[in-house]
Structure 1
Amino acid sequence: MSADPASITPAGQTEPITPSTLRLAPKVVLHDHLDGGLRPATIIDLARESGYAELPTEDPEQLGRWFVDSANAGSLVQYLRTFGHTVAVMQTLGALRRVARECVEDLAADGVVYAEVRFAPELHLEQGLTLDEVVGAVLAGFDEGQRTAAAAGHRIVVGCLVTAMRHAARSTEIAELAVRFRCDGVVGFDIAGAEAGNPPTRHLDAFDYLRAHCMRYTIHAGEAFGLPSIKEAIGYCGADRLGHGVRVIDDITLPPGVDPAADSLAGARLGDVANYVRDKRIPLELCPSSNVQTGAVADLASHPFNTLARLRFRVTVNTDNRLMGDTTMSRECALLADQFGYGWNDFERFAVNAMKSAFIPFDKRMELIDGVLKPGYAVLIG
């Protein structure tokens, strides 16, 4: 990963874009995995407590670097293997509650004002916990983290997405779990895991159940498998959002000689899938650094984020897995500013895009947009 970019002050703006000012900017993240955001020191503590002896090192700095280096495999399957260590130490109520609390504290300290954090309850049953106990512990940790952050002067609202593993057969059970906890902090549902060979249409019963109960859901699609997975997610499964969705670019043709980074992309031709995604304002949960790590794109310069943003897709900026990417929301924004020249107006739009797309009630979304996001960016824009 490249170093933090130098200070950038786009024309007409008061505050320069720097790592410190980006941390102050109010941010919204919709795609952040609980088991992909642990502090290295916490992993070591929990491993010692549980007797887990498989960590590659017990030095926090070296362990953090190991996760990043191992995740830089250019393959989603290889990337996902790093989660074996984090999931292994998240098998007790205390561990789940601690990890959830620290997740909220870390996001809040980075200037995130609203987050939807996802995890797969079915992966945390190895020591006899029930699905309900797992979700209850995580929600308790989120609540504690929000209170701790507020006491430190960092207001944050956190919603939980429960995830079903796409290669398993528990998606309907997990959908029922999501509905059961909808009044306690669970705001939606997701399916995740290796895309190839595990199409979302294997889980139609779960999506039918969610729709019957008016529950919102996102689907990991268009990350590793490409455009067909996006078509299935929206055409057959009815996804409200696309987890990543980066390969929608495969259905867009730019005129010969047009620079994808240009402000004007007049003449771009969108296929049926891309048109549907844009016309329906289906949010794209784009994760720039992670998309490079998993090989969804070759490098940040070739990431379609800017093309999709200029074509007015509903793009959002996300971290995916902060541990594996050694990243934060501020860092993702800094990388995008460095690569594409974005200013505060752009980051305000991306944050509002995300807040509009959140799985909480409309009035709560508007409270954060009008009461937090817009005033916060007004100070930066000047």
Structure 2
Amino acid sequence: MTDDGFAPAPALSPDLVRRAPKALLHDHLDGGLRPQTIIELAAEAGYDALPSTDAEELGRWFRDSADSGSLERYLETFSHTVAVMQSADQLRRVARECALDLAADGVVYAESRFAPELHVEGGLSLPEVVEAVLAGLREGEAEAAAQGTPIRMVSLLTAMRHAAMSDEIAELAVRYRDQGVGGFDIAGAEAGFPPSRHLSAFEYLRRENAHFTIHAGEAFGLPSIWEAIQWCGADRLGHGVRIVDDITGPTGTGGDEPTLGRLAAYVRDRRIPLEMCPTSNLQTGAAESVAAHPISLLKDLRFRVTVNTDNRLMSGTSMSREMQLLVDEAGWTLDDLRWATINAMKSAFIPFDERLAIIERVVKPGYAALAAAT
């Protein structure tokens, strides 16, 4: 019994968490390759710069390299994955395996983001890159359904902050939005590359009634979040973890009760989704531990929090692992996981009726069955 006389909540086993329906909004295609796939594609392409050709060692190298505490160093690991994603066949295979791996982990809806401009070194055009990835996602969906683990896959097209192709990528997102592209994103190092540099792309997307999310508030603070929302009009925030800098109280900045600043209150009031990635944030130094990660405070304050993987290869993670860490180290319950999953589905870049169908027919019944089994 606990001090207040109630029985403690039952522990959530890894098997139960794995079986929980999951929705994933923030997952990078080039950050989720299977190590063995990288090795095989590198051999086929004659790419000889891999640090190892042993799958276990290569996977460990990616995780160790990403554990530096620096976002810039973290991003360097992508040179190897991008190098083996330069042909239509390579992209199709990676996308297909992404869908299969997520489905096997209990993910029922996922948005996989990638930067088309990074995959043209082999001679593909930007449309050919997009079409190859979409074909792979469809193949993966079909195979997953045949295996009894159905998943709905959507792609997001990412523009790089330091480049000057955001207008072209935004136009691609609109061009392919009825063929599996859900929206647009910008990514890359935040410092020195504010989202407002890409304002024309965001204005175009708004005129076209298109969805977009912006990486903001990960390695940089409140100004990045403010620009993403108030200048650029982001529908969602990629990470957004630094919104806690605008909250005083139990976060360590003084006071007995949390007090929201103007920006934090606006984010909460407008129900702007936060695509939070706990393990990734530990690696880049945006948080010290899962137990101390702001995601739990923001959950308790009823921000629209979602749980995500970011880069499964670099973080050695999965949605099940992210959820299990929150359960084991931050005290999350099955109800918390259900709430975050519904938050993600409410925030997905697909039509309302499709979001509602997944919530009512898949997520809620799935969690009800798990609750009955505990």
2:4 maps to what in 1?
Answer: none
Q: Equivalent of 1:58, from 38, 46, 53?
A: 53
Separation in 2, partners of 1:153, 1:256: 44
Task: Give 3-state SS (helix, strand or coil) of 2:257's partner.
Answer: coil
Letter in 1 for 2:77: T
Q: Equivalent of 2:264, from 251, 265, 274?
A: 274
Q: Are 2:90 and 1:100 aligned?
A: no
Separation in 2, partners of 1:347, 1:77: 31
2:338 maps to what in 1?
Answer: 348
Task: Give 3-state SS (helix, strand or coil) of 1:330's partner.
Answer: helix
Question: Whose relative contact order is higher, 1 or 2, with alpha carbons under 8 Å and at least 6 apart?
Answer: 1
Written as runs of structure 1 = structure 2, the 5 A alignment for 1:191-202 is 191-202=186-197
Q: Are 2:11 and 1:21 aligned?
A: no
Q: Equivalent of 2:234, from 231, 239, 259?
A: 239
Q: Deviations over 1:181-238 (max 9, x none)?
A: 0110000100000000000000000000000000000000000011110010001000
Separation in 1, partners of 2:8, 2:155: 39
Written as runs of structure 1 = structure 2, the 5 A alignment for 1:203-352 is 203-254=198-249, 267-352=257-342
Conserved? CA contact 2:9–2:333, under 8 Å: no
> How far is the alpha carbon of 1:297 from its aligned partner?
1.3
Q: Equivalent of 2:347, from 350, 357, 381?
A: 357
2:86 maps to what in 1?
Answer: 91
Letter in 2 for 1:342: W
> How far is the alpha carbon of 1:11 from its aligned partner?
4.4
1:122 maps to what in 2?
Answer: 117
Identity of aligned residues (%): 64
Separation in 2, partners of 1:258, 1:272: 16
Separation in 2, partners of 1:369, 1:104: 19
Separation in 2, partners of 1:19, 1:128: 44
1:5 maps to what in 2?
Answer: none
Segments of 5+ residues of structure 2 without an aligned counterpart are 1-6
> How far is the alpha carbon of 1:12 from its aligned partner?
6.1
Separation in 2, partners of 1:37, 1:272: 36
Q: Equivalent of 1:156, from 135, 138, 151?
A: 151
1:190 maps to what in 2?
Answer: 185
Structure 1: which 4+ aligned runs deviate by more than 3 Å?
Answer: 10-13, 255-259
Letter in 1 for 2:331: G
Separation in 2, partners of 1:40, 1:357: 31
Task: Give 3-state SS (helix, strand or coil) of 2:183's partner.
Answer: strand
Letter in 1 for 2:287: V
Q: Deviations over 1:116-163 (max 9, x none)?
A: 010000000001100000000000000000000001000100110000
Letter in 2 for 1:272: R
Separation in 2, partners of 1:347, 1:303: 16
Separation in 1, partners of 2:256, 2:123: 58
Letter in 1 for 2:297: T
Separation in 2, partners of 1:310, 1:360: 27
> How far is the alpha carbon of 1:257 from its aligned partner?
8.2
Separation in 2, partners of 1:257, 1:131: 47
Letter in 2 for 1:71: A
Separation in 2, partners of 1:45, 1:106: 17
Separation in 2, partners of 1:33, 1:221: 15
Separation in 2, partners of 1:339, 1:249: 20
1:48 maps to what in 2?
Answer: 43
Separation in 2, partners of 1:275, 1:183: 34
1:142 maps to what in 2?
Answer: 137
Which has the larger displacement, 293-302 or 357-366? 293-302
Task: Tell me: CA distance 1:273–1:92, structure 2 relative to 1, closer, same or farther (3 Å).
Answer: same
Separation in 2, partners of 1:57, 1:232: 41
Separation in 1, partners of 2:49, 2:22: 36
Q: Deviations over 1:295-318 (max 9, x none)?
A: 111222321111000000000000
Letter in 2 for 1:190: D
User: What TM-score comes out, normalization by structure 2 length?
Assistant: 0.96
> How far is the alpha carbon of 1:380 from its aligned partner?
1.2
Task: Tell me: CA distance 1:380–1:166, structure 2 relative to 1, closer, same or farther (3 Å).
Answer: same
1:6 maps to what in 2?
Answer: none
